[in-house]
Amino acid sequence: MPKRNPKTIATINFKGGVGKTTVTWCLGDVVSSFSRGKVLIFDLDAQMSLTQVITLNEATGALEERFRNWYDTATQRRKTIFDALDQFTKPAQHFDFGVGFDFIYQITDNLHFIPSVEDLYWMELEVFDREGVKDFIRRLLGKIANTPKLPEYDYVIFDCPPSFTLLSYSVLSCCDLVLIPVNPDFFASKGTNLILNSLKMRIEPFPLPRIGVFMNKTRTWGGAPTNEARFYMREVARVCGEAAERQNIRAKFFDSWIPERVGIKRALTAGGVPPELVQPFKDLWQEAVDYLHE
């Protein structure tokens, strides 16, 4: 029986520092730990922040030994995301890149991971044809779904770089939901309008994914967002509503919000999503899944 296709979610914002990596990791961790879902996460950012968060040993400051050994083997055998892309973009060659657990790292039974490589920095120079890349992620996911030794993933979450790269284009051309984290400040909120009003024309003629925007790093007072945070929530919700109407796109500002948490990255490398953030991420996930099935 053929495996069902997983739901694909891309975390994106052209503004850096809004918490894309943290959100991707926290969602992956919360869903794989507290639901029955199997999750595959991709680090598509050449900065490799997600790879480091997942695999850095907080005590030693070095990569976890198990991951380091696996990663060394993967790079030696040319089984990285860059090698897959390199193979895909070679002219007149069939895409027969084999995918298995030498390409996918198993963090836990329910959470698997495809790390990034720094070579992705130079990809834009070497591969300049966007049409040559657009189907890459869709074909790669097809291979993963059709490989019997790999599990049936329920969700695939992509951590995208803070710019519109060829890989982002490839993800956006085939994903089901775009998650845009914003922060309660002017510069972090400003990008929302740009993305919402540009995505459609940049990725047409492909079907536009649903877009979910939510407030991340929300400053709180007495357990609720501060008035300043509420001001930006209201403004971003308005921008979403206007863009959805003007561009005829499915964009929604989520009610769920993630509170600001000092030292979140350190907490993640030390042992996963901190207990006080589990429920906010569960709420966010539930809203995202409901939206996907609307």
Partner 1 sequence: MSDGSAFKSASEEVAALMRELTQIREVLRDISNRVGQIERHVKRAFTIPAKDKSKPIRQQSANAGGVMKPQITSADALREFDELVSVCRDHGPETIINRLNAKDHSELRVIAVELGLPAGSKVSRKQLTSSIAGRVRESLLLSTNRNVTEPRSASATSRTPEEAKKEE
DSSP H/E element including 156: strand 155-159
CB of 144 to partner 1, least distance (A): 27
Nearer to partner 1, 190 or 265 (CB): 190
Residue 159 CB neighbours (<10 A): 26
Rule CB under 8 A: choose which of 34, 97, 101, 291 binds partner 1.
Answer: 34
Rule CB under 8 A: which of 225-284 touch partner 1? 226-231, 234-236, 238-239, 242, 271-276, 278-280
Nearer to partner 1, 86 or 260 (CB): 260
Nearer to partner 1, 18 or 229 (CB): 229
DSSP state of 185: S
Stretches 37-45, 68-76, 149-157, 216-224: which one binds partner 1 (CB under 8 A)?
Answer: 216-224
Q: Which residues contact 152 (CB under 8 A, 6 or more apart)?
A: 3, 4, 6, 38, 145
d(CA 135, CA 7): 17
Largest CA distance in the chain: 61
Stretches 46-54, 98-106, 151-159, 197-205: which one binds partner 1 (CB under 8 A)?
Answer: 197-205
Nearer to partner 1, 115 or 280 (CB): 280
Nearer to partner 1, 279 or 286 (CB): 279
115 contacts 71 by C-beta, under 8 angstroms = yes
153 contacts 113 by C-beta, under 8 angstroms = no
d(CA 59, CA 151): 32
Q: Which residues bind partner 1 (CB under 8 A)?
A: 33-34, 186, 189-190, 192-194, 197-198, 201-202, 204-205, 221-224, 226-231, 234-236, 238-239, 242, 271-276, 278-280
